[in-house]
């Protein structure tokens, strides 16, 4: 089942285990050098095709830790009252949950909610699996059938719909949950029935915080990640701290909650109820026809997969999971999303490129550096980024003589480094960037952290750097781990200065 829903060794080791052990997401470094989902050779979950919009510069619009008092993960499940009817005497009842991640006990209550509430609530399950024999071409008909079932269920008196992929079996493949969830959500909006019902997702696909965020963005009022919880319960003895399975699952739920607050805060949203159905995402690599029909209103500037290709990715995963591949018989796929792995995801920073860079810098070998540069410059041919899809159109007949254009020395004067703060790199790297840009006449940017006053104190006094001086001799050996030789006339001052005095 883990293979059928796309689990990898990395998912369990780097994502789920830390959450179950510590009650929070693991901390990792910034940057992702793996391909966009639409350009990857791997079968990616549909969640990976969506990126949340961003309203953050340095600090988030809301700090979910320091301003926790305004954050809320409370969710209401069920029909919504008419906001325009101020005289409504008996508004519809709704179920309140303190946070949107439900466990097995919660789901058992939801499945039997009619008995618990004397018929005030009634739930039914929408099974999003379909026969494997239909192939990926069967997805569109199944989605239409699900939408019709949802309408019939509401008209039949049900006010909670549980969208489930639990019925996955060797002969039954599941539609990708996000596609099914959003298709039903959008169809009910078009039919004017969305406020008459609550949507709860019961899925084996959701395992990391982003998955829960996208499901919420497209209408899920609550999510039961049944396979993730079963996985954590099964491996609780391998986690540090001698945790019970119940405690490990509770930690995982807590971590997802913290992660959702973090994600919501990046767009200035403080409550889950406001985030639910807000669709604060952009699709990258889905065609406009699919987005218009199943993710209505979502920006999609880069075309790509259609509904049949989305189904094909799930279909391939399913066939591999229940197939006879000896490699997958006893273990999950390596993954390779977060670190380079054999048979894993592609990366722009390959072991070969890193080795050549290290060798060239440590031995000051320019020929090895050129080999490294060639690897980096040619990697666009691997089509891992959008810019790699572009090609310069060169027409020799329109070539401009080199003596009619600016010289390289004049062009580089327009160069400016990125605003990287001192604390984000190192003293040596920060100073080296300033020296290099001053030598070519460009501009370096201090970033918001500013720069050490010792770097320009003597320069302000008219004392120039002399041949033979080093970075350590100018700013002090106490702050320099790797010394850098300087030339006469060098300057350590950054042309563009930013200081975070406001904070």
Express each pLDDT in 273-285 by its tens digit. Answer: 999 999 999 999 9
Would residue 336 count as lying in a domain?
no
At residue 85, does pLDDT exceed 80? no
Would residue 337 count as lying in a domain?
no
Kindly state whether residues 384 and 406 are assigned to the same domain: no
Whether residue 162 contacts residue 113, with contact meaning beta carbons closer than 8 Å, is answered with no
At residue 412, does pLDDT exceed 70? yes
Kindly state whether residues 409 and 384 are assigned to the same domain: no
pLDDT tens string 99-156:
999 999 999 999 999 998 888 999 999 999 999 999 889 999 999 999 999 999 999 9
Q: How many domains does the chain have?
A: 3
pLDDT of residue 500: 53
Specify the pTM. Answer: 0.84
Kindly state whether residues 277 and 141 are assigned to the same domain: yes
Kindly state whether residues 181 and 240 are assigned to the same domain: yes
Region 235-259: what's the mean pLDDT? 92
Domain termination residue (choose one: 328, 363, 381): 328
Would residue 443 count as lying in a domain?
yes
At residue 210, does pLDDT exceed 90? yes
Kindly state whether residues 375 and 231 are assigned to the same domain: no
pLDDT of residue 260: 97
Domain termination residue (choose one: 273, 295, 328): 328
Kindly state whether residues 110 and 240 are assigned to the same domain: yes
- What is the residue range of 407's domain? 392-503
Kindly state whether residues 416 and 444 are assigned to the same domain: yes
Kindly state whether residues 405 and 385 are assigned to the same domain: no
Kindly state whether residues 371 and 473 are assigned to the same domain: no
At residue 445, does pLDDT exceed 50? yes
- Other beta carbons within 10 angstroms of residue 145's beta carbon come to 13
Average model confidence (pLDDT) across the chain: 89
| Rounded to 5°, angle at Cα 193 from 188 and 197 | 95
Domain termination residue (choose one: 360, 391, 422): 391
- Separation CA 462–CA 132 (nearest Å): 79
Would residue 335 count as lying in a domain?
no
Residues in the chain: 503
Region 427-433: what's the mean pLDDT? 88
At residue 452, does pLDDT exceed 50? yes
- Cβ neighbors of 309 (< 8 A, separation 6 or more) are 136
Would residue 342 count as lying in a domain?
no
pLDDT of residue 56: 62
How much of the chain exceeds pLDDT 90, in percent? 53
User: The domain that contains 134 carries what CATH number?
Assistant: 3.20.20.70
Alpha carbons within 13 angstroms on the beta-carbon side of residue 70 total 13
Region 72-98: what's the mean pLDDT? 85
pLDDT tens string 162-171:
999 999 999 9
Would residue 3 count as lying in a domain?
no
| DSSP secondary structure letters along 442-453 | -B-B--TB---G
Would residue 333 count as lying in a domain?
no
Whether residue 166 contacts residue 204, with contact meaning beta carbons closer than 8 Å, is answered with yes
Would residue 340 count as lying in a domain?
no
| DSSP secondary structure letters along 142-173 | HHHHHHHHHHHHHHTT--EEEEE-TT-BTTEE
At residue 219, does pLDDT exceed 80? yes
pLDDT of residue 380: 73
pLDDT of residue 502: 40
Most confident range (mean pLDDT) of 25-39, 139-153, 349-363 is 139-153
């Amino acid at each position: 089942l883990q293979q059928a829903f796309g689990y990898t060794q990395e998912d369990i080791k780097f994502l789920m285990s830390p959450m179950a052990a510590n009650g929070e997401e693991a901390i990792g470094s910034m940057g992702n050098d793996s391909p966009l989902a639409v350009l990857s050779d791997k079968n990616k979950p549909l969640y990976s095709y969506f990126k949340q919009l961003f309203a953050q510069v340095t600090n988030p619009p809301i700090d979910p830790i320091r301003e926790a008092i305004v954050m809320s993960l409370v969710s209401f499940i069920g029909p919504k009252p008419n906001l325009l009817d101020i005289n409504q005497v008996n508004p519809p009842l709704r179920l309140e949950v303190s946070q949107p991640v439900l466990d097995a006990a919660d789901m058992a209550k939801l499945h039997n909610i009619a008995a618990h509430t004397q018929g005030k609530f009634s739930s039914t399950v929408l099974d999003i699996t379909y026969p494997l024999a239909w192939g990926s071409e069967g997805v569109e008909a199944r989605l239409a059938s699900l939408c019709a079932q949802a309408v019939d269920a509401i008209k039949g008196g049900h006010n909670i719909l549980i969208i489930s992929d639990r019925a996955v079996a060797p002969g039954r493949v599941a539609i990708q949950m996000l596609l099914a969830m959003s298709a039903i959500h959008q169809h009910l909006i078009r039919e004017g029935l969305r406020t008459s019902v609550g949507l709860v997702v019961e899925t084996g696909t959701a395992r990391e915080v982003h998955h829960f965020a996208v499901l919420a963005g497209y209408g899920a009022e609550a999510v039961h990640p049944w396979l993730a919880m079963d996985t954590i319960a099964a491996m609780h003895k391998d986690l540090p701290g001698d945790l019970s399975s119940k405690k490990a699952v509770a930690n995982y739920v807590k971590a997802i909650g913290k992660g959702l607050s973090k994600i919501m805060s990046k767009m200035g949203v403080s409550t889950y109820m406001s985030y639910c159905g807000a669709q604060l995402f952009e699709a990258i690599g889905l065609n406009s026809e699919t987005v218009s029909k199943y993710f209505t209103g979502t920006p999609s500037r880069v075309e790509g997969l259609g509904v049949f290709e989305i189904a094909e990715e799930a279909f391939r995963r399913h066939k591999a999971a229940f197939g006879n591949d000896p490699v997958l018989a006893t273990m999950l796929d390596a993954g390779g999303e977060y670190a380079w792995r054999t048979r894993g995801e592609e990366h722009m920073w390959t072991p070969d490129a890193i080795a050549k860079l290290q060798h060239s810098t440590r031995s000051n070998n320019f020929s090895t550096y050129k080999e490294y540069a060639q690897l980096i410059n040619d990697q666009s041919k691997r089509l891992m980024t959008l810019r790699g899809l572009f090609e310069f159109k060169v027409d020799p007949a329109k070539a401009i003589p080199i003596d009619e254009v600016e010289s390289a020395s004049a062009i580089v004067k327009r160069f400016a480094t990125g605003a990287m703060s001192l604390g984000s790199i190192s003293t040596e790297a920060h100073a080296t960037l300033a020296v290099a840009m001053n030598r070519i006449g460009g501009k370096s940017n201090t970033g918001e952290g500013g720069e050490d006053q010792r770097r320009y104190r003597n320069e302000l006094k008219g004392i120039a750097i002399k041949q033979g001086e080093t970075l350590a001799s100018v700013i002090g050996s106490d702050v320099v781990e790797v010394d850098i030789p300087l030339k006469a006339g060098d300057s350590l001052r950054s042309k563009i200065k930013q200081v975070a005095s406001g904070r």
